Amino acid sequence: MSLQDKLDELGWLGFLRCSFSRLKLRALRLVFRFDPWHADAPCACRPYKQIVADSIGQLVPRGVVEIGCGLGDIGHLLRERDVAYIGLDAEAAVIAAGRYLRRGLDLRQGSFEHLGDAGADANVLLLLNWPHGLASSELATLANGVPAGFDYLVVDLIRQDAPALGFTHRHTVTQLRQDGLQASLLTLVERIDPVRDLAILKYERALHPSLR
């Protein structure tokens, strides 16, 4: 995305907030040594994160577990909306930095294999950004393997008409279901940013309790 595109998206004030937030996170990275890409994507630079939090809030969830939570941006926004949240990430350094940055937010090192403990009271699973590195069949298999208490799957989808920005896979709900995803589309929030939509799906076992 060019500088002009970013200015068009954020406006001058938003652009300044974005730049300041990036400087703050880059300084934090000098201490915690987390992967550098986390420092380039704070909330101030990614307005779509507000849309994600608003969309999840409309589900009135019992709780949310995010896998690949990074610094806990979405969790911070959900906490402002009084939504219970647990964030999991495989990278220990980014979890340590997130705990420092978001005091009191429940961030843990872990992934899908830890959902049984982390998601005991949650019914929404959030997967954001990183799934574009997985083939559709891999993503469907992982999403199907979550504990029975989860009713909703929320995942961002890179649009088929989006410019080439290094995304490995561009999933569609149709393709995910063809690859075995056991969830049906509830809502598609289109163009949450210039390149992505947000899919909110309901697990079929939640639609048909006898499948639990």
Name the β-bridge partners of 113: none
Closest to 115 in 3D by CA, of 69, 81, 157: 69
| Residues with pLDDT less than 70, the chain | 1-8, 206-212
Indicate the burial class of 159 (C-beta count within 10 angstroms; 0-12, 13-18, 19 or more): middle
d(CA 170, CA 111): 22
pLDDT tens track for 127-151? 999 999 999 999 999 999 999 899 9
pLDDT, residue 50, reads 96
Residue 94 CB neighbour total at 10 angstroms = 26
Out of 3.40.50.150, 3.90.1150.10, 1.10.10.10, 3.40.50.1110, the CATH code matching 43-211 is 3.40.50.150
d(CA 75, CA 87): 7
Closest to 155 in 3D by CA, of 123, 132, 182: 132
pLDDT, residue 207, reads 62
pLDDT tens track for 48-75? 999 999 999 999 999 999 999 999 999 9
